[in-house]
Structure 1
Amino acid sequence: MARIDNAPRALLALLMVFTLAACAGTYPAQRVNSAKTVLMGLTQEDVRMCAGFPTRQHEDSEAGVSIWNYELRNQAGGVNLSAPLWVANTNLSISGGGSCQAQFRFVDGVLDRLAYAGDNDGPGGRDTLCAPIVDGCLSYVVEETGR
């Protein structure tokens, strides 16, 4: 019987694991960045359909500008370590939570700008805590327009 060498298979499996891990780490960052361009041109009705009703909104009817604010608070637990030392107590706190505020600006009812604010950077990169706010709209665009 011929012996099958498992080394190439193991190497391929390891390479696939590292590739998937890299994709998992950057995917939310890619979504929040692509939303800034892909969602442009959606109407207010489209955004209400894909993101729901805004938390707050500001209207400047004379200029034809509306700014809708969506908020998301991530209450994930963090780490709090405390250790007594000879001289003083030492505390280390690492917050696992954060918040995102996504501002959608409409001019004459059409989305022309999307910006993020808040303590919204996560392990996956900048603004990644905002991904849940825009995910529904990114799916909506794909379903409705095929972009």
Structure 2
Amino acid sequence: MLPRAALLLLLPLLTTCSARDSAVAEDGRERLIGLRADDLRLCAGVPNLTANSAGGEFWTYDRNPPAAGVSAPVPVIGGSLSVSAGSTCRVTFQLVDGKVTRIGYSAASDLPMSQNSACAPVVQGCLRLVDQNEVTPE
């Protein structure tokens, strides 16, 4: 029964990490407003999609990180018990006059309280540069 108990103990850790990453994504939504287009390209990379409209430019980044999880045999039921977390994310930055004005997330996650956790890697590098005063949102 120990492997099953260990798996059940890992679930809160996966949820905690995902909740932390979701908070990073939400932090980015606020702190990256005003970031210049060149700085965004520097820290987030080249977007997967771009579009223009009367509302400005839209840069979209898609992220599909590998699912995190563990699997161990549970002899009582003769199979295995698996705890995993899969998620995807699409981040869209709206730019007006070359600056970020809004950030939207479209994400899906298998874990509670981690809706935007897969979006964290897109904004994490930008937040790091802001924290190090290497780029400054205006």
TM-score (norm 2): 0.68
Query: By how many angstroms is 1:111 displaced?
Result: 0.3
Query: In the alignment, what sits opposite 1:52?
Result: 45
Query: In the alignment, what sits opposite 1:29?
Result: 22
User: Which amino acid letter does the alignment assign opposite residue 48 of structure 2?
Assistant: T
Query: By how many angstroms is 1:125 displaced?
Result: 2.3
- Aligned to 1:72, which of 39, 42, 63? 63
Q: Quickly say closer, same or farther: Cα 1:67–1:126, change in 2 above 3 A.
A: same
Q: C-alpha separation between the residues in 2 aligned to 1:44 and 1:145?
A: 11
Larger Rg: 1
Q: Write 1 or 2 for the structure with the bigger share of strand.
A: 2
Query: By how many angstroms is 1:43 displaced?
Result: 0.9
CA RMSD across the alignment: 3.3
Query: By how many angstroms is 1:118 displaced?
Result: 2.9
The answer to whether structure 1 residue 138 and structure 2 residue 130 are counterparts is: no
Query: By how many angstroms is 1:96 displaced?
Result: 3.0
User: Which amino acid letter does the alignment assign opposite residue 102 of structure 1?
Assistant: V
Query: By how many angstroms is 1:122 displaced?
Result: 4.2
Q: What runs of 5+ residues in structure 2 fail to find an aligned partner?
A: 1-12, 72-80
Q: What runs of 5+ residues in structure 1 fail to find an aligned partner?
A: 1-20, 81-91
Higher relative contact order, chain-length normalized (CA < 8 Å, sep 6+): 2
| Preserved contact between residue 64 and residue 108 of structure 1 (Cα < 8 Å) | no
How many percent of aligned residue pairs carry the same amino acid?
A: 34
Q: C-alpha separation between the residues in 1 aligned to 2:29 and 2:122?
A: 12
Q: C-alpha separation between the residues in 1 aligned to 2:68 and 2:21?
A: 20
